[in-house]
A and B are shown apart, each in its own frame.
Chain A
Amino acid sequence: MLIKKIKVLGLLLLVLSVLAACSEEDSANEKKSDETDNELVYAVAQDINDMNPHLYTGSMPAQGMVYESLVENTKDGIQPLLAESWEISEDGKVYTFFLREDVQFHDGEPFNAEAVKKNLDAVQSNAEKHAWIKLSTKMENVNVVDEYTVELELSEPYYPTLVELSMTRPYVFISPKDFENGETKDGVSGFNGTGSYVLTEHKTAEFATFEANEDYWNGAPEIKRITAKVLPAGETTLLALQKGEINFAFTDDRGADSIAVEGMNQLEDSGDYQLIRSEPMNTKMLVANSSKADNPISETAVREAIWYSIDKETISKDILNGTESMAETLFSPNVNYADVDLKKRGYDVEKAIEILEKNGWKSENSSEARTKDGKKLEMKLYYDSSSSSQKTQAEFIQASLKEIGLQLEITGEESTSIANRRATGDYDLLFNQTWGLAYDPQSTIAAFTSEASYLHTTKGIKKEDELYDNIEQVMVSTDEQARKALYAEILTTVHEEAVFIPISNGGMTVIAPQNLTGVSFKQTQFELPFELMNFK
């Protein structure tokens, strides 16, 4: 009886292993045929959502495929896109755009000055929602000059105008036929842009398909179809890539880093995929609340000591597995106007202790927090609980600060609650990041004065009024040299005050099939130029 059972079991195992061997061959064949399909299927952690380009819920990479702006922000500065050229009046208040004449929306509607006006007016009629983009507060009138010429009147000169017009949203164009009651703020009836891809199918929480726009003014893209497949779990994404069900993945604004570093390396080692990283695009940092008067964090010396005692090299190498380089300043030098000579503060525990001692923070017992006038050197750091790397960094920093006699309590919270703390000033230290390449330095710096962002971070420093004056001036300055000088001054002030403690520079990561060429990056961490990619 027993022998019979063993025989059956053996036979079963044999059949199973034969099956396994067969199917392994099958899958190899399948992969080959996939590569000639000229299709990209990428994973997204969340649905692409409402694609209305004048609101903020849609997926940015998807919006970037469908909609276009007047001008484009590139490595070499602002370049033409839907506007062939432009003129800026001498007082810096009137921008005249000469539009391309060969562009039409996906639904066949012509793209002309009238369409531009309708779109810009629709954005402006919801201006409160766009308060972050300063151009929205300065745009007074949009005038149609002739069919392909349009004029923007500003209330005062504003130098980042072109940069802000180049962003993924909200100043991009959707067919006026999709407007609801002449507006876009309460929703749109379709998603017809002028971009290189057309949204052809969308199944909420499942997938969205984009087909190449064969009538695209700049030539139809090589990759004929792009599908965004919703895969909420990073493990599944990795397995789906291994199987070839999806063949493309990248860190986007929401599904960022859903695949663990080891997983990405494993895919690269398999030879089927290549791993491509962009240059640094943003800075991850600790933000210190300088205006919290009853807390040691309000002292410049304490903030400097914290800066010196963080071993960024270890964080970059061991915690982030080399995916992000260590950062020395608020902006990396490749950011416009940010190549300023600033004092380096490397990892130096002794220096940190020296600074604290000099400023009256004395230690009686090496295992406890230092004190000054009976006040303990202790504070709280908040991190995003959904980010595994932030948690590890927070623990690492906590241990490092203990060495200089600073007691750090760390708390993980949801990102919304951290944003709320930042706005109300209810924090000592928290993790944050800069807006990123296309937006910086102006957007992050504009946020220094904003109640909802970094006002509490900058309010407590010594030269606060001077700083705010400089920020106001730099935004309206029309002279390049003056602007450079002002930015240098602003950056020096916040650097000396050590209110933004930089940790690492992050960018975009792309996992693509080995034979895909033309993978490049835009000046933003939120989009990819799919139209430039093709299979070898």
Chain B
Amino acid sequence: MKRYIIRRMLVSMPLLLVISFLTFVLINLSPMDPAEVILQAQGVPQITDELVEQTKEEFGMDQPFILRYFDWLVSSLQLDFGDSYINGKPVWSLLGPAFFNTFKLTLISSIAIILVSIVLGVVCALNEGKMIDKSVRGISFFLTAMPSYWLATLMIWYFSVKLDLLPTSGMDSYKSYILPVVVITISYAGLYFRNVRTSMINNLNEDYVLYGRASGLPEKKITMHILRNSLQVSISIFGMAIPIILGSTVVIENVFAWPGLGSLSVRAILSRDFPIIQAYVLVLAVAFVLFNAISDIINAAMNPKLRNDL
């Protein structure tokens, strides 16, 4: 198992390298002079040629492209992503807290999504084809199709303004978590509970269920067995849910004024604060690759046959 983990991790390395290179190249493909971009990001009212030259030198932009990439890569590996163009603060000092805020939201939402998905999935599978199954699926289809900013605005209007139960936005107390978590859960649980339901239904038709029933095992025990088996399939899907939510909180954070990665990246993109954009893309890419590896490892731990696949 240890060997598998090491091998699985090593396989991810080249992928990360390619991603890091692409990130750097894409941003450098921008048709504008990067020095001008910096000055515009700093809000300098009038950009002169002298100022552009001066800025180029200051930021080492007169260096060849490949040298700049390696410089950036080496310092990125030490978590030094450079300084923000806008306020000159080190990127990690901005990215760190934002990442932490988004991660808290993501983690709580992921747990909520997993719990809701399992409960709904099991209920629907056990009542396959019945009224309750149909209505849960119908409602979830409707809710997932709703744009999340719209759902969020509606929720704020009802629960914050109309009922005055929760704050509209911000990150002040535990109350601030409720609405964003609910909106994220509604948007994603609808997708994930289907997986649980399908694999439960598949398992219901397996021979061991028939055997269990035939030998008079209590129905509760059989259900637990089916659940455990069907969750195995869902683990990799749930594993990827975390980075997906991590990367897609932009809209939610914007509406709820959540000081996280999403709002940081939007601000950075709008003002072309490249060091932050690069670091953001890299962090997300690492999260995707990492969680993918982790879900593979968990699967391999549960199913030894998979360990030889690599």
Interface flag for B1 (CB, 8 Å): no
Contacts of A423 in B (CB 8 A): 47
With a cutoff of 8 Å between Cβ atoms, the chain B residues found around residue A420 in the complex are 32, 36
Interface residue range, chain B? 35 or more
Assess A23 versus B257: contact at CB under 8 Å? Given A204-B97, A450-B46: no
User: B10: CB under 8 A from chain A?
Assistant: no
Do residues A452 and B168 form an inter-chain contact, with CB atoms below 8 A? no
Per a CB cutoff under 8 Å, which of A128, A203, A232 touches B266?
A: A232
Proximity string of chain B (260-272) to chain A, C-beta cutoff 8 Å, 1 when within and 0 when not: 0001101100101
Asked if A56 and B42 make an inter-chain contact with CB atoms under 8 angstroms apart, the answer reads yes
Residues of B within 8 A of A206 (CB): 170-171, 257, 259
Closest to A205 in B: B259
Please, how many angstroms separate the alpha-carbon atoms of A422 and B169 in the complex?
38
Q: Which residues of B contact A91 (CB under 8 A)?
A: none
Name B272's contact: one of A20, A131, A245, A416 (CB within 8 Å).
Answer: A416
* Nearest chain A CB to B3 CB, angstrom units: 44
Contact between B254 and A23, CB atoms less than 8 A apart: no
- Stretch of B21-29, B86-94, B103-111 at the chain-chain interface: B86-94
> How close is B82's CB to chain A, nearest CB, in angstroms?
15
Binds A, one of B155-163, B189-197, B274-282, B301-309: B155-163
User: Which residues of chain B have C-beta atoms less than 8 A from A20's C-beta?
Assistant: 162-163
Q: How far is the CA of A444 from the CA of B161 in the complex (A)?
A: 44
How distant is the Cα of A359 from the Cα of B45 in the complex, in angstroms? Answer: 39
Give the A interface residue count (CB, 8 A): 50
Closest residue on chain A to residue B159 by CB atoms: A23
A284 at the interface (CB under 8 A from B): no
With A49-B87, A239-B153, A416-B272 in contact, do A23 and B163 touch (Cβ < 8 Å)? yes
CB-based contact A232/B254 at 8 Å = yes
From A24, A50, A131, A416, contact of B162 by CB (8 A)? A24
A337 within 8 A of B: no
Binds A, one of B12-20, B48-56, B115-123, B208-216: B48-56
Establish whether residues A236 and B88, one from each chain, have CB atoms under 8 Å apart when the complex forms.
Answer: no
**Residue numbers in A under 8 Å from B50 (CB-CB):** 128
Most interface-central of B32, B46, B264 (chain A CB within 10 A) = B46
A152 at the binding interface (Cβ < 8 Å)? no
When each residue 227-271 of chain A gets 1 if its CB lies under 8 Å from chain B and 0 otherwise, what string results? 001111101100110110100000000000000000000000000
| Complex contact B44–A230 (CB within 8 A) | no
Assess A239 versus B45: contact at CB under 8 Å? Given A46-B267, A49-B87, A204-B94: no
Cβ-defined contact, B171 with A416, below 8 A:
no
- How long is the Cα–Cα vector from A240 to B270 in the complex, in angstroms? 24
Q: State whether the Cβ of A388 lies closer than 8 Å to any Cβ in chain B.
A: no
Q: How far is the CB of A240 from chain B (nearest CB, A)?
A: 5
Q: Are A245 and B86 in contact (CB under 8 A)?
A: no
Q: Name the B residues within 8 Å of A129 (CB-CB).
A: 42, 44, 51
B128 to chain A minimum Cβ distance, whole angstroms, is 20
Q: Which residues of B contact A205 (CB under 8 A)?
A: 98, 259, 263-264, 267
B62 on interface, CB distance cutoff 8 Å = no
Asked if B40 CB lies within 8 Å of chain A CBs, one says yes
Name the A residues within 8 Å of B48 (CB-CB): 128, 131, 451-452
- Which of B37, B88, B89, B169 is the one whose CB lies under 8 Å from A231? B169
- Complex contacts, A24 vs chain B, CB 8 Å: 162, 164
Taking the complex as formed, is A26 at the interface, i.e. its CB lies under 8 A from any CB of chain B? yes
A239 to B149, CA, bound (A): 14
Pair A231/B257 contact, Cβ less than 8 Å: yes
- Nearest Cβ in chain B — how far from A253, in angstroms? 9
| Contact pattern, A 187-206, Cβ under 8 Å of B = 1, otherwise 0 | 10000000000000001111
* Residue from the list A30, A186, A233 in contact with B255, Cβ < 8 A: A233
From known contacts A239-B168, A416-B32, infer whether A230 and B257 are also in contact, taking CB-CB under 8 Å: yes
B51 proximity list for chain A (CB < 8 A):
128-129, 131
A201 to chain B, nearest CB (A): 14
What separation, in Å, do the CA atoms of A94 and B157 have in the docked complex?
Answer: 60
Q: Does A453 contact B (CB under 8 A)?
A: yes
Compute how far the CA of A450 lies from the CA of B48 in the bound complex, rounded to whole angstroms.
Answer: 9
Question: Could you tell me the distance between the alpha carbons of A129 and B44 in the complex, rounded to whole angstroms?
Answer: 6
* Cβ of B256 under 8 Å from chain A: yes
Give Cα A95 to B42, complex, Å.
31
Is A233 a contact partner of B257 (Cβ separation < 8 A)?
yes
Min C-beta distance of B262 to chain A, whole Å: 10
A347 close to B (CB within 8 Å): no
The answer for the CA separation of A233 and B169 in the assembled complex, in Å, is 10
State whether B163 touches A204 (Cβ < 8 A): no
B98 near A57 (CB under 8 angstroms)? no
B43 touches A57 (CB 8 A): yes
- Against B, the Cβ 8 Å flags (1 = close, 0 = not) of A376-420 are 000000000010000000000000000000000000001011011
Chain A residues closer than 8 Å to B157, beta-carbon distance: 239
Whether A245 and B167, one on each chain, are in contact in the complex, defined by CB atoms closer than 8 angstroms, is yes
Can you list 18 A-B pairs, Cβ within 8 angstroms, ordered by A?
A27-B164, A56-B42, A204-B259, A230-B259, A232-B263, A233-B149, A235-B149, A236-B255, A243-B161, A243-B168, A245-B167, A416-B32, A416-B40, A419-B40, A423-B47, A447-B46, A450-B46, A453-B46
| A residues whose Cβ falls under 8 Å from a Cβ of B | 19-20, 23-24, 26-27, 30, 46-47, 49-50, 55-57, 128-129, 131-133, 186-187, 203-207, 229-233, 235-236, 239-240, 242-243, 245, 386, 414, 416-417, 419-420, 423, 447, 450-453
Q: What 5 A-B pairs are tightest by C-beta distance, nearest first?
A: A132-B46, A56-B43, A205-B259, A132-B45, A50-B87
